[in-house]
């Protein structure tokens, strides 16, 4: 499991020619890092007299970042798992018509499945961005730059997820799936961009 | 040293109220991850017949990503070190005029010093972005989404570095330093944004 590797080992294997981890795992980790910064801002806001009025809401946000943290981290490893299925499907023989057909089906199935992980990276990072946006408004000003970095990393995670969905869609024959997934991805990106940019502007104003 | 921690432990301590790691360390790690994806793309391009013509250039890029990888990872820990100095300066007593003066000087010195780490995050991530931009043009198309994720993470690292410089500048009295550093930061961001956006567009075209 990659989430047990040290930062330096993970970066090293990421830079290698090993098929996993790749951009999907890196995007999931970026999402986990961005979301964790949101959790940190909650922890630095809770218990401070100045922020007493917003404390219940910040505690609620903290709870949500805890859930997202676990989910996003798990995706680092899940991305590697689904990629292995895709790689296995690419290696199937295609000597006969029957083999060709079987390979095509296995590949389509594996690629559709592989889309689910970056889609989850996008969905969870979008959820985390909603929390980050709110923290830009009500979180401790002492940690305002951390909210900003969190928003930047989550935005990168959303778009990184998108690129990983798109590269998988490129090999899928099911037109309806490709079209619907493509639309869904754009919808998440649009929402995430607006949230991230608003959070970032709020941070710059307070710096 | 944080770079020896596991991904899950690092994310956990990042989300805690511990003063370090914070947004600076997360930005440095994002830069290291983005740059590592560039290294991966080089490794997946080298030795492939289709990319024989560009192999010498890709090998040169790989060499540069190796250097940047080490430098960016070290900044994760350096950011924590310089932050400790800032925190120590904030804790100095200020009961007498002399103590006030001493504290002010110590704080200014620590904050100026603390600016250097996010400035390096920005500089190294900008260097890595130049390589990523070139890889979007000449790297293996099989790993094109990884180039894109790399560019996104490096752009986030540059802007994350900027926010960490700005929060430090806010506490520094030396007007000339503040003004010059502010201008330098904007210059790097402008160059990085152009490179990252060009690389990203190139990736989308090839997906």
B114 touches chain A (CB under 8 A): no
Question: Is the full-model pTM beyond 0.95?
Answer: yes
Q: Which residues of A touch B73 (CB under 8 A)?
A: 7-8, 11
Q: Suggest the residue from A3, A10, A11 to mutate for an interface test with chain B (most B CBs closer than 10 A).
A: A11
Distance CA B1, CA A195 (A): 34
- Helix, strand counts (H, E) of chain A: 6, 0
Report residue A6: phi and psi, to 5°.
-75, 160
Residue that the structure tokens 């080089």 belong to: B42
Contact B167 A145 (CB under 8 A): yes
Is-contact A152 B118, C-beta < 8 A?
Answer: no
pLDDT, averaged across chain A: 97
Amino acid B171: pLDDT: 96
The predicted pLDDT at position A36 comes to 98
For A128-173, write each residue's pLDDT tens digit. Answer: 999 999 999 999 999 999 999 999 999 999 999 999 999 999 999 9
Residue reference for tokens 């200014």? B108
pLDDT digits over A13-55, tens only? 999 999 899 999 999 999 999 999 999 999 999 999 999 999 9
Given pLDDT bands bounded at 50, 70 and 90, which one contains residue B37? very high
Q: What is the maximal distance between C-alpha atoms in chain A? A: 73
Chain A hits for B76, Cβ within 8 Å: 7
**Residue A6: strand pairing partners:** B6
Which DSSP symbol is given to B6?
Answer: B
Handedness of CA A197, A202, A207, B2 (dihedral sign): negative
Confidence of residue B198 (pLDDT cuts 50, 70, 90): very high
Going by pLDDT thresholds of 50, 70 and 90, the confidence category of residue A6 is: very high
| Residue contact A150–B23, C-beta within 8 A | yes
User: How much is the pLDDT for A73?
Assistant: 98
d(CA A73, CA A21): 13
Rg of chain A's alpha carbons, rounded to an integer? 19
- In 3D space, the residue among A13, A62, A54, A14 whose CA is nearest the CA of residue A36 turns out to be A62
Residue found under tokens 């490893």: A77
Share of chain A above pLDDT 70, in %: 100
Torsion region of B47: left, alpha or beta (phi above 0 gives left; psi -120 to 50 gives alpha): left
Mean pLDDT score of chain B, rounded to an integer? 97
Kindly indicate the confidence band of residue A184, based on its pLDDT and cuts at 50, 70 and 90: very high
8 Å CB contact between A172 and A114? no
Q: What percent of chain B has pLDDT over 90?
A: 100
pLDDT band per the 50, 70, 90 thresholds, residue B70: very high
Question: Tokens 């890029």 correspond to what residue?
Answer: B61
Structural domains in chain B, CATH included, are 20-206 (1.20.120.680)
Quick count: other Cβ atoms within 10 Å of Cβ B102?
15
Task: In whole angstroms, give the CA distance from residue B121 to residue B125.
Answer: 6
Q: What is the pLDDT of residue A85?
A: 94
Q: Torsions phi, psi of B6, nearest 5? A: -75, 160
Q: pLDDT tier at A60 (50, 70, 90 boundaries)?
A: very high
Quick: pLDDT tens for A61-110. Answer: 999 999 999 999 999 999 999 999 999 999 999 999 999 999 999 999 99
Q: Chain B residue with minimal CA distance to A164?
A: B145
Q: Rounded distance, CA A74 to CA A77, Å?
A: 6
What's the token pair of residue B118? 């996010």
Which residues 126-185 on chain B approach chain A with CB closer than 8 angstroms?
A: 143-146, 148-150, 152-153, 155-156, 159-160, 163-164, 166-167, 170
Supply the pLDDT for residue B101: 96
């Amino acid at each position: 499991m990659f989430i047990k590797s040290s930062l330096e080992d993970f970066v090293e294997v990421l830079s290698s020619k090993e098929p996993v981890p790749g951009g999907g795992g890196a995007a999931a980790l970026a999402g986990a890092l961005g979301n964790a910064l949101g959790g940190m801002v909650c922890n630095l806001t809770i218990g401070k007299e100045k922020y007493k009025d917003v404390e219940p809401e910040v505690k609620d946000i903290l709870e949500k970042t805890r859930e997202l943290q676990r989910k996003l981290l798990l995706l680092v490893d899940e991305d590697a798992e689904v990629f292995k299925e895709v790689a296995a499907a690419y290696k199937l023989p295609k000597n006969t018509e029957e083999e060709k057909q079987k390979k095509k089906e296995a590949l389509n199935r594996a690629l559709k499945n592989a889309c689910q992980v970056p889609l989850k990276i996008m969905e969870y990072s979008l959820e985390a961005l909603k929390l980050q946006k709110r923290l830009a408004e009500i979180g401790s000003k002492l940690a305002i730059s951390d909210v900003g970095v969190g928003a930047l990393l989550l935005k990168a995670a959303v778009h990184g997820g998108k690129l990983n969905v798109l590269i998988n869609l490129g090999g899928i024959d099911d037109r309806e799936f490709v079209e619907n997934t493509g639309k869904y991805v754009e919808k998440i990106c649009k929402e995430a961009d607006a949230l991230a940019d608003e959070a970032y502007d709020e941070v710059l104003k307070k710096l």
